[in-house]
Amino acid sequence: MKYDYDVIIIGSGPAGFSCAMQSSKFDKKVLVVEANEESFGGTWINSGTIPSKALRETARIIQRFQSQFEHLSKEKAYQHHQMDELLKYKNEILQSKNSKVESDFKKNEIDTLRGFGVLKDKNTVEVTAKDGSKTTQTAEFIFVSPGSKPLKPKGFDLDHDKVMDYTSVLNLTHIPRKLLVIGSGVQALEYATTFSNLGSRVSILNEGEAFLPFLDNEISEQLFQLLDKQKVEVFSNAENIEIQQNSLRNTTEVRYNLRTDNEGKRTRVIETEHVLYLGGKVPNTEGIGLEKVGVKLNDENYIVVDNDYQTSVDNIFAGGDVIGYPALASASFSEGRLASCRMFGIQALEVPPEIPFAIYSIPEISSIGLTEKEAKARGYEVTVGRAYYKNITQGDISNQQDGLLKLVFETENLKLVGVHIIGERASDLIHLGQAVMSLGGDVRYFINHVLNYPTYSEAYRIAAFNGMNRVYKAGVKYKKLLKNKE
């Protein structure tokens, strides 16, 4: 049977974009269906990854500049900068990125169609345009990557003015003097530290028992020290959150209880100018015909896929936020590429199970592999090596002395099993550790190889020596440590 296309891709986020690009390299005829009438890229470009990081980068630049000069270090960013100036930078980046994605599609002869795509059968997609007109396209394969949307809060409503989500916060007209962030995840920390460094007084209401509990214990300790330094308060175990406006005081009042309260569940109140709700996301799997064609969903409405990103329907694949964990833009790019390889029978190397993650807070946090606690729980005998940014020359030069790089490695063979970083450029630094881990290397790599100086990468060498000294003190002869293992 002849189809209109080799593959139709629903959604142009990182998974859909990479699937389209890879499929075009296989000389396949590709159609990308995008519901957004104005831009490609979904949340990735328009309301999530890129715009939030652009705003964060602006705040980081201001923080770095002010920290270099004593007379500026105690001043607030809002005394010198307007929100429209900061958002202008963000908007320019979005426009540039959108143009590049559209250009990439054209250069690779990838067709695009604006409208809401719905599966009519396993090979057919019906697209409804904004004006209500419908078109039907067929393909041998279909890749589903429509992304996700913000989870609606319980107990209060979003007005996208005083109470915002991650989309409306990017349209603020001023830098708020006070901001309350409701959330327990990565985004909560990113936005909290971004606005803290712009001069806002920030608090975080965390409905979980602990804030970012997946972090290595020492990284978490460093984080809370830095939050305290930035005067960012975190209240965990929050519940019964209610929001109301106080017109007399011209403030937004947030009332809540703490599950661990020893004072009989008394109601607590925080007065703030704005509330930013970051309560998670839900997959865009409703109303696109998945159940009709037999695509299996789990209890949380995420699409169930195998290791090849193939769904329960043999010619339908999926990737990105709609398949759940890890729901990272970085991972989604690989998911789309690998799905393309699998559907067209092209061999591709497997992505290693250890993938890095980064939190784009100020400063950044990034990790890969096992934490010290996880390694010990799995029965590994491990040693750790630490390097504090205050001991790194580049930290002195840049006046960025808050941070820690921690190596976790097996004591017997020195094999690296985890790297955990909090500090400037952590999201870039993690890749050196990732490369050594993926090649089965050990911590002696950082000692035996010359690294540029001064750089933040010096932290690896310091941490390696620090860990090796611990092994030496444990009774292993130091000269043997530097020899190659047979």
In degrees rounded to 5, what are phi and psi of residue 340?
-60, -45
Q: Which stretch of DSSP H or E encloses residue 9? A: strand 5-10
Beta bridge partners of 164: 276
**Cα–Cα dist 376/380, whole Å:** 5
Beta bridge partners of 34: 114
Average pLDDT of the chain, as a whole number: 91
Q: E-strand spans in 191-273?
A: 201-205, 233-235, 238-246, 251-258, 268-272
Contact by Cβ (8 Å): 11, 33 = yes
Give me the pLDDT at residue 478, please: 56
Planar angle of CA 180, 184, 189, nearest 5 degrees? 65
Single out the residue of 147, 190, 186, 184 nearest to residue 169, CA to CA. 190
Q: How many alpha carbons lie under 13 Å from residue 57 in its C-beta half-sphere?
A: 13
**Cα–Cα dist 141/311, whole Å:** 11
First to last CA, the chain: 59
The structure tokens listed for 89 are 């930078």
User: Could you tell me which residue, 25 or 51, shows the higher pLDDT?
Assistant: 25
User: Could you tell me which residue, 471 or 78, shows the higher pLDDT?
Assistant: 471
Give me the pLDDT at residue 353, please: 81
**Whether the predicted pLDDT of 477 surpasses 80:** no
Q: Model confidence at 45, in pLDDT bands (50, 70, 90)?
A: confident
**Whether the predicted pLDDT of 12 surpasses 60:** yes
**Least reliable range by pLDDT among 25-39, 266-280, 464-478:** 464-478
Identify the burial level of 237 via C-beta atoms within 10 angstroms of its C-beta, where 0-12 means exposed, 13-18 middle and 19 or more buried: middle
Contact by Cβ (8 Å): 144, 125 = no
Residue whose token pair is 């629903």: 10
**Whether the predicted pLDDT of 405 surpasses 80:** yes
Q: Model confidence at 480, in pLDDT bands (50, 70, 90)?
A: low
**Cα–Cα dist 244/271, whole Å:** 10
**pLDDT tens column, 63-75:** 888 777 766 666 6
Alpha helices in 273-368 (DSSP H): 290-293, 329-343
**Cα–Cα dist 204/361, whole Å:** 14
- Would residue 475 be called left, alpha or beta, if left means φ above 0 and alpha means ψ between -120 and 50 degrees? left
Beta bridge partners of 39: none
Q: Model confidence at 266, in pLDDT bands (50, 70, 90)?
A: confident
Q: Model confidence at 142, in pLDDT bands (50, 70, 90)?
A: very high
In the chain, the domains with their CATH numbers are: 5-148+282-343 (3.50.50.60), 163-279 (3.50.50.60), 363-479 (3.30.390.30)
Residue whose token pair is 């699998």: 342
Assign 188 to helix, strand or coil: helix
Contact by Cβ (8 Å): 7, 143 = yes
Assign 148 to helix, strand or coil: strand
- Side-by-side strand order, sheet with 268-272: 238-246, 251-258, 268-272
Cβ neighbours of residue 357 closer than 8 Å, sequence gap 6 or more: 326, 328, 366, 367, 368
Contact by Cβ (8 Å): 443, 416 = yes
* Amino acid identity for residue 180 in this structure: L
**Cα–Cα dist 119/97, whole Å:** 29
**Whether the predicted pLDDT of 102 surpasses 50:** yes
Contact by Cβ (8 Å): 226, 210 = no
Planar angle of CA 355, 326, 59, nearest 5 degrees? 85
In this structure, the number of other CB atoms found within 10 A of the CB of residue 391 comes to: 15
Contact by Cβ (8 Å): 175, 152 = no
Alpha carbon separation from 258 to 138, 182, 185, 214, 266 (Å, rounded):
54, 14, 18, 22, 8
**Cα–Cα dist 408/415, whole Å:** 9
